[in-house]
């Protein structure tokens, strides 16, 4: 048995306040009214107009930077890749030297030759493993010093 002097006082207080509590239906009605008045907002409703303005300006700046980068990007096939030169009956040559070097050549010669297909792979032409050992007929534009300037695959 507990002989604490506070226990009888707490028991009396408990019995006196038991009738003072609100009925459960009142508490439910208050909680429902609170939920409708302070409804939970979605994430985009919680952002202030200033935050939306900041997000919009950052997005616009990113889009402008992307547009500048796209406009300034080199076109595919330019500079680093082997450009195509339109010569001789409108058929395309694969340039092996720079276009300036080809244009400055005073007397280029055209030679017919056969190349192994593996050599074409180094020029970026797709080569099947089945035919990698075969040879291909090609026409080469050669400078006066014997350096190859351009290459065209022959269908013959």
- Of the chain, the percentage scoring pLDDT greater than 90 comes to 15
Q: Are 141 and 150 in contact (CB under 8 A)?
A: yes
Q: Where are the beta strands (DSSP E) in 6-147?
A: 84-87, 91-95, 109-116, 135-142
The continuous run of DSSP H or E covering 152 comes out as strand 148-153
pLDDT in tens, 49-105: 999 999 999 999 999 999 988 888 766 554 444 444 444 555 677 888 888 888 888
- Of the chain, the percentage scoring pLDDT greater than 70 comes to 85
């Amino acid at each position: 048995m507990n002989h604490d002097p506070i226990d009888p006082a707490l028991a009396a207080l408990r019995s006196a306040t038991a009738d003072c509590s609100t009925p459960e239906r009142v508490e439910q009605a208050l909680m429902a009214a609170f939920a409708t008045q302070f409804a939970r907002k979605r994430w985009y409703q919680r952002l202030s107009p200033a935050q939306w303005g900041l997000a919009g300006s950052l997005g616009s700046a990113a889009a402008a930077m992307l547009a500048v980068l796209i406009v300034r990007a080199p076109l595919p096939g330019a500079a680093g890749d082997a450009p195509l030169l339109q010569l001789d009956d409108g058929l395309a040559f694969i340039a092996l030297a720079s276009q300036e070097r080809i244009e400055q050549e005073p007397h280029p010669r055209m030679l017919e030759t056969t190349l192994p297909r593996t050599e074409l792979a180094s020029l970026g032409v797709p080569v099947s493993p089945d035919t990698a050992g075969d040879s291909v007929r090609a026409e080469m534009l050669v400078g006066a010093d014997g350096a190859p300037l351009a290459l065209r695959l022959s269908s013959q």
